[in-house]
């Protein structure tokens, strides 16, 4: 194909004229595909200094879009939604391009502080912390995996004194948000009744181009005791199955699409784009508005009811601290006047770490340029093919525990399949996971002759806690993120035990049939250890630990202002008319990917706001 294209003039056959005319029409169609795939931008309001709104919502991400939608259902309330980014790019809507959004203008491009101990196999010893900077937030950049977590996760919140978050309320708000659209799931009565059908958030499954390989992996997982199930959200311990997703008909269903498009049509919602909230205005311990910077100019916008911060687990604590709410000693260090000494702001950072497990086999077979070209055409024409599902996560997952008779999982495995001789593999892993060149080369080299079965191992319930602190009092300075992976030795030992369970897959019938083997990372500190030994995996874990991008907990809720930032109604301790509604309010993390829970928090938080403002 490439040769023919290069020598197109010399390979033309005689024609009556019909063929080139039809081909030219087809070419015009595909040239216009970008317009066909695009959607209208959100309308932007004209807002001037001193304007007043009933509610100001800071951040149009996974939770903020939900809050803006639900508050504007009350027609008498005027709501202003302020987003630091802009409209999501076309690549956000196309599932297969999810990895291309990292480190782009649509990403805050955060990274952790190099502690000199962990993640030293990554560039600069620093872990990437991508966060969506656009409408939809990280729901527009993630792998679209819809995981509800285990009931015990939410019972833990309630038992910690958060009485507005009973398991029944949490389940109700999950269902309130959901719109199950997968026909196979709808036909199964047990699965169908588990989900909501009339909410905004579309839930479906991928129609995957590598489905036969996924099925083989699921069968292998089943063989080692990770029972294959039809739905990963109904059960959560020692199971495997195909992923449920926030994508449908080949298009990502981020919260700007599912919640904000309809809300933006309401006259009582105004939107500001590319507008950074630099401070919450507080008088006599009462939030009265926000300071905003847009196009180099600062101005103030006021509220008659509440400011709701939905800026995410990094930006929300940063904004509170910039506004004088946080640990007093840290505020003083940055020349910020303390309004409320709130010692837990920015603390309690929890994240789902990952340790890479690369295995190889005789499949999947090599793809070629022709195949990839026709995949693009297939997507444009039918919204099918490899671009219709995540390019990061292939569509299978497993959840399990290292503890016998456990009631919830502490380990998770994702699955990514890569065909033989993928020439972009080395550069891709250097870009997305920041592996240094030597390590990326040791991953890519076996791919020249073998397909890749990549199993990112995830530790679901770490004991280690990190923090987010200010770099300075400049709102544009990125905060300091200390992830503190493996700070608690129990996390390292659990990870090693979990990885040893995961590598048992190489002894299964399927992996033996494809000549499956475990890859070795080229790390001098680890090369002396026997491959797949516990000592080897301790060394690999410490050197290659990175993030699966699920930070939570930095404005955690609880009844005591000394040990939490917001109460169970998400009101900031010590300041009236100010709430936080996003992933940062989770006191402890959940047993799986966090985006579904953040959407649920948006639903429950909105209810609490409405109840308190009747």
The continuous run of DSSP H or E covering 53 comes out as strand 52-58
Note the pLDDT of residue 1.
46
Q: What is the pLDDT of residues 437-446, one digit of tens each?
A: 999 999 999 9
Residue 520: name the closest of 512, 511, 529 by CA.
Answer: 529
Q: What is the pLDDT of residues 86-140, one digit of tens each?
A: 999 999 999 988 888 999 999 999 999 999 999 999 999 999 999 999 999 999 9
Query: Which active-site residues does the annotation give?
Result: 550
Note the pLDDT of residue 236.
85
Pick the more confident residue, 369 or 470: 470
Q: What is the pLDDT of residues 451-494, one digit of tens each?
A: 999 999 999 999 999 999 999 999 999 999 999 999 999 999 99
Q: What is the pLDDT of residues 189-212, one digit of tens each?
A: 999 999 999 999 999 998 777 889
Q: What is the pLDDT of residues 129-179, one digit of tens each?
A: 999 999 999 999 999 999 999 999 999 999 999 999 999 999 999 999 999
pLDDT band at 397 (very low <50, low <70, confident <90, very high): very high
Q: What is the pLDDT of residues 291-308, one digit of tens each?
A: 999 999 999 999 999 999
> Was 18 annotated as part of a binding site?
no
Note the pLDDT of residue 209.
78
- List 350's β-bridge partners, or say none: 552
- At 400 the three-state DSSP class reads strand
Write out the CATH class of domain 207-242+353-459+486-544.
Answer: alpha beta
pLDDT band at 552 (very low <50, low <70, confident <90, very high): very high
Percent of the chain with pLDDT over 70: 96
Q: What is the pLDDT of residues 308-364, one digit of tens each?
A: 999 999 999 999 999 999 999 999 999 999 999 999 999 999 999 999 999 999 998
Rounded to an integer, the average pLDDT of 584-591 is 99
CB count within 10 Å of CB 349 equals 24
Rounded to an integer, the average pLDDT of 29-43 is 81
Residue 602: name the closest of 148, 181, 65 by CA.
Answer: 65
Name the residue ranges covered by the structural domains of the chain: 207-242+353-459+486-544
CB burial of residue 18 (10 Å; 0-12, 13-18, 19+): exposed
pLDDT at 30 over 90: no
Note the pLDDT of residue 450.
97
Note the pLDDT of residue 105.
97
Q: How far is CA 400 from CA 13, 152, 194, in A?
A: 60, 15, 21
- At 170 the three-state DSSP class reads helix
Note the pLDDT of residue 51.
98
Which segments of 115-225 are extended strands (E)? 128-129, 178-180, 201-205
Note the pLDDT of residue 10.
55
């Amino acid at each position: 194909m490439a040769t023919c294209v290069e020598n197109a003039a010399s390979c033309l056959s005689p024609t009556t004229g019909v063929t080139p005319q039809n081909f030219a029409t087809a070419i015009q169609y595909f040239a216009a595909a970008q317009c066909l795939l695009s959607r209208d931008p959100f309308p932007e309001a004209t807002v001037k200094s001193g304007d007043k709104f009933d509610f100001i919502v800071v951040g149009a991400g996974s939770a903020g879009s939900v809050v803006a939608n639900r508050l504007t259902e009350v027609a008498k309330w005027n709501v202003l939604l302020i987003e630091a980014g802009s409209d999501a790019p076309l690549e956000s809507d196309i599932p297969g391009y999810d990895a291309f959004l990292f480190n782009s203008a649509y990403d805050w491009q955060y990274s952790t502080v190099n502690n000199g101990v962990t993640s030293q196999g990554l560039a600069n010893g620093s872990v990437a912390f991508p966060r969506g900077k656009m409408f939809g937030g990280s729901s527009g950049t993630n792998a679209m995996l819809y995981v509800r977590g285990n009931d015990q996760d939410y019972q833990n919140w309630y038992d910690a004194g958060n009485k507005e978050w009973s398991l029944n309320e949490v389940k109700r708000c999950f269902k309130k948000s959901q719109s199950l659209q997968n026909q196979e799931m709808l036909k199964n009565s047990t699965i169908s009744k588990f989900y909501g059908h009339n909410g905004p958030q579309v839930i479906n499954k991928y129609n995957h181009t590598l489905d036969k390989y996924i099925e083989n992996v699921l069968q292998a997982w089943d063989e080692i005791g990770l029972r294959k199930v039809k739905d990963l959200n109904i059960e959560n311990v020692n199971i495997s199955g195909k992923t449920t997703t926030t994508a449908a008909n080949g298009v990502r269903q981020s919260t700007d699409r599912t919640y904000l498009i309809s809300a933006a049509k309401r006259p009582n919602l105004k939107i500001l784009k590319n507008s950074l909230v630099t401070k919450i205005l507080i008088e006599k311990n009462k939030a009265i508005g926000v300071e905003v910077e847009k196009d180099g100019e600062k101005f103030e916008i006021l509220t008659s009811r509440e400011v709701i911060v939905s800026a995410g687990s990094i930006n929300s604590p940063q904004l509170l601290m910039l506004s004088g709410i946080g640990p007093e000693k840290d505020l003083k260090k940055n020349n910020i006047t303390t309004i409320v000494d709130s010692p837990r702001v920015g603390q309690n950072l929890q994240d789902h770490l990952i340790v890479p497990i690369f295995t190889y086999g005789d499949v999947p077979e090599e793809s070629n340029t022709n195949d990839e070209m026709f995949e693009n055409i297939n997507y444009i024409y039918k919204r099918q093919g490899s671009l219709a599902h995540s390019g990061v996560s292939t569509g299978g997952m497993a959840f399990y525990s290292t503890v016998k008779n456990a009631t919830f999982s502490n380990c998770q495995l994702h699955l990514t399949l890569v065909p033989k001789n993928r020439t972009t593999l080395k550069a891709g892993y250097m870009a997305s996971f920041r592996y240094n060149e030597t390590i990326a080369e040791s991953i890519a080299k076996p791919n020249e002759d073998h397909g890749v079965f990549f199993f990112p191992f995830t530790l679901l319930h770490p004991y280690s806690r990190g923090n987010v602190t200010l770099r300075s009092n400049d709102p544009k300075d990125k905060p300091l993120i200390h992830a503190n992976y493996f700070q608690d030795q129990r996390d390292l030992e659990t990870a090693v035990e979990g990885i040893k369970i995961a590598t048992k897959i190489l002894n299964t019938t399927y992996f033996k049939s494809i000549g499956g083997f475990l890859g070795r990372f080229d790390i001098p500190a680890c090369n002396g250890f026997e491959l797949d030994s516990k000592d080897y995996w301790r060394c690999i874990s410490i050197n290659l630990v990175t993030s699966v991008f699920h930070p939570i907990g930095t404005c955690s809720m609880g009844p005591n202002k000394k040990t939490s930032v917001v109460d169970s109604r998400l009101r900031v301790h010590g300041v009236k008319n100010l709430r936080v509604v996003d992933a940062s309010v989770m006191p402890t993390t959940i047993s799986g990917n966090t985006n579904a829970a953040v959407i649920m928090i948006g639903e429950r938080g909105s209810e609490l706001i409405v109840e308190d403002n009747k």
